[in-house]
Amino acid sequence: MSEVGIDNLIGVAEAIAVLDNTPVTPRIERIALPGADGRVLAKAVSADRDYPPFDKALMDGYAVRAEDAGGSLRKVGEIAAGGSAGVRPLRAGDCVSIMTGAPLPPGADAVVPIEWTSLAGDVVTIRGNVRTGNAIAKRATEAKAGDGVLPAGIHLGPAHLSVCAQVGAALVDVFARPRVGVLSTGDEVVAFDTTPVGSQIRNSNSVLLSSLVRRYGGQVDHLGHVRDDPASIAEVLSTPGLDAILVTGGMSMGEYDFTPRVMRELGYELAITKLKIKPGKPFVFARRSGPAGKDAGPQFIFGLPGNPVSAFVCTVRLVSRLLLRLQAASPEPKWDTATLTTDLPANGPREFYQPVFAEAGTVNPLAWGGSADVFTLTRANALLIRAADEAALPAGTSVQLLRFP
């Protein structure tokens, strides 16, 4: 039997299209380099000079004229890393002791590794043949002054930060982290550090969502908890200075599910209401139809289900896309494929995201305890995606996985 009202729900692909076609305006900020790890670069970085800025030695040894390096040479000086050549141009039969990273003296075109030599007084004996260019890096072979060394749009990692430091980019322009408020609602919800009474439940959603927002690059603003009161909900949803708010609870059709109505009263367009997804059907995406004043609430509000697994799935699959786009980052998640270790029954009429544990190319579906079963979620590292009305899958089938952030 089909679920009641299933035909009135929109599919996940349609919801993604709505989110991806919603205009966003990422903000740019200039920050000190040490704080830029993991951020998206907003403006390209260029080399401030040639790299290397001189012909340099790649090994400890002796700078020579390759045409002379066949027997014994006169040592006429020494150049340390960080020093300058400071010696006259090499003449026939001369060599200079040189350290890794030091500039070559004029006239030198090769470096003989110290292991290939022996020293007696100022006489250096060379064993083996040395070719022009041996163990040296020519000036500007890595980058020329003015060359772009890092393009805009990349996620800055260890190597990128090193390049920025190398070229003196002490301040970098990056896309700002979106400011995201996290709010929970419901008369039955109490703080996680208190003891529930009767049918009360502790607030686990706020910490779950805050963790996800940070993993997707956002800054979290904890908006606390409000009871099922329209005026209180409206006040918090109008918090200024935020890019988006994630609010859990009150998204269904019950007598006390006020939040969607409050969003409309605040002037938001409800672009998505109710998804053909399991878990997570009571999902709302609200957006302002025009620019908001500086004292108005956020441009976007996500209404998420009250059950934690549902809130998790909707955030990983959908909310993440807009949070990443607000940073000019790719919204595409981490996909994987693996082989089922057990049979799975036919799926129902909603696209199903089942918690699984994937390892070494195989995937073990975990017992589905329902949208409130956050305990099972702790043993998962991915979500197995089942299409709506998908037939039963035998063990050995290759399936698509959505990796956790």
At 5 the pLDDT is: 59
Listed in sequence order, the residues at least 6 apart from 316 whose beta carbon sits closer than 8 Å to its beta carbon are: 212, 333, 383, 402, 404, 405
Length of the chain: 405
At 293 the pLDDT is: 55
What is residue 98's DSSP assignment? E
User: What is the rounded distance in angstroms from the CA atom of residue 89 to the CA atom of residue 104?
Assistant: 10
At 253 the pLDDT is: 56
Class of domain 335-403: mainly beta
Quick one: pLDDT band at residue 385, thresholds 50, 70, 90?
very high
At 4 the pLDDT is: 47
Arithmetic mean of pLDDT, 249-272: 83
Contact 309, 294 (CB under 8 A): no
Contact 299, 239 (CB under 8 A): no
Q: Considering the entire predicted model, what is its pTM?
A: 0.87
Arithmetic mean of pLDDT, 326-354: 95
At 1 the pLDDT is: 39
Flag the least confident range among 166-180, 205-219, 238-252. 238-252
End-to-end CA distance of the chain: 35
* CA nearest to 300, candidates 329, 278, 267, 276: 267
Q: Tokens for 72? A: 């014994």
* CA nearest to 371, candidates 388, 400, 350, 392: 350
At 7 the pLDDT is: 66
Q: What are the start and end residues of each CATH 2.170.190.11 domain in the chain?
A: 56-137
H-helix or E-strand spanning residue 206:
helix 205-215
What's CA 187's distance to the chain center, in Å?
A: 36
Listed in sequence order, the residues at least 6 apart from 17 whose beta carbon sits closer than 8 Å to its beta carbon are: none
H-helix or E-strand spanning residue 261:
helix 259-265
Sheet strand arrangement including 94-98: 110-113, 61-64, 94-98, 72-79, 123-126, 117-120
Domain range 28-50+141-175, CATH architecture = Alpha-Beta Complex (3.90)
Partnered with residue 119 across adjacent β-strands are 124
Q: What are the start and end residues of each CATH 3.90.105.10 domain in the chain?
A: 28-50+141-175
Listed in sequence order, the residues at least 6 apart from 385 whose beta carbon sits closer than 8 Å to its beta carbon are: 351, 352, 353, 399, 400, 401, 402
At 196 the pLDDT is: 85
Class of domain 6-27+176-325: alpha beta
Listed in sequence order, the residues at least 6 apart from 255 whose beta carbon sits closer than 8 Å to its beta carbon are: none
Q: Report cis status (omega within 30 of 0) of the bond before 298.
A: no
Average pLDDT over the chain reads 92
Return the residue matching tokens 């190597």: 159
Return the residue matching tokens 């000079």: 49
At 190 the pLDDT is: 85
User: What is the rounded distance in angstroms from the CA atom of residue 324 to the CA atom of residue 326?
Assistant: 5
pLDDT digits (tens, 9 = 90+) for 94-111: 999 999 999 999 999 999
pLDDT digits (tens, 9 = 90+) for 273-303: 989 999 998 999 999 876 555 567 899 999 9
Quick one: pLDDT band at residue 336, thresholds 50, 70, 90?
very high
Return the percentage of the chain with pLDDT > 90, whole number. Answer: 80
What is residue 88's DSSP assignment? P
Is the pLDDT assigned to residue 256 strictly greater than 70? no
Sheet strand arrangement including 179-185: 219-226, 179-185, 244-248, 300-304, 284-288, 268-273
At 255 the pLDDT is: 58
At 171 the pLDDT is: 98
Domain spanning 56-137: CATH 2.170.190.11: yes
CA distances from 111 to 21, 104, 122, 142, 405 (A): 58, 9, 17, 19, 48
Arithmetic mean of pLDDT, 295-314: 92
Q: What are the start and end residues of each CATH 2.40.340.10 domain in the chain?
A: 335-403
pLDDT digits (tens, 9 = 90+) for 388-403: 999 999 999 999 999 9
What is residue 198's DSSP assignment? T
Amino acid making up residue 168: G
Quick one: pLDDT band at residue 320, thresholds 50, 70, 90?
very high
